[in-house]
Amino acid sequence: RKLLDAIFTVCGVPDKLFRSLSSTIDKLDKLPWDVVRNEMINEKGLSPEVVDRISRYVHMHGISFFIIMHY
């Protein structure tokens, strides 16, 4: 969760939403990104710009993701 909290911080998520958004992000195992994105905006109250910043990390693959996970 420390990595996820750091990503939220960099993306501009208010601290008070970290736990709630963590459970929303966990839904990506079962739901597509657009459903999770809509929940973040419509139910959690995040701006589309903040959610789009989070999206960059959610959709990382390969070497970029490896670097983030190990540093």
pLDDT confidence tier of residue 59, bands split at 50, 70 and 90: confident
Condensed to tens digits (0 to 9), the pLDDT of residues 8-48 reads 999 999 999 999 999 999 898 899 999 999 999 999 999 99
CB within 8 A of 17, min separation 6: which ones? 8, 44, 45, 46
- Number of domains making up the chain: 1
Structural domain containing residue 41: 2-70
Q: Does 66 have pLDDT greater than 50? A: no
Measured distance CA(13)–CA(47) in Å, rounded: 9
pLDDT for res 19? 93
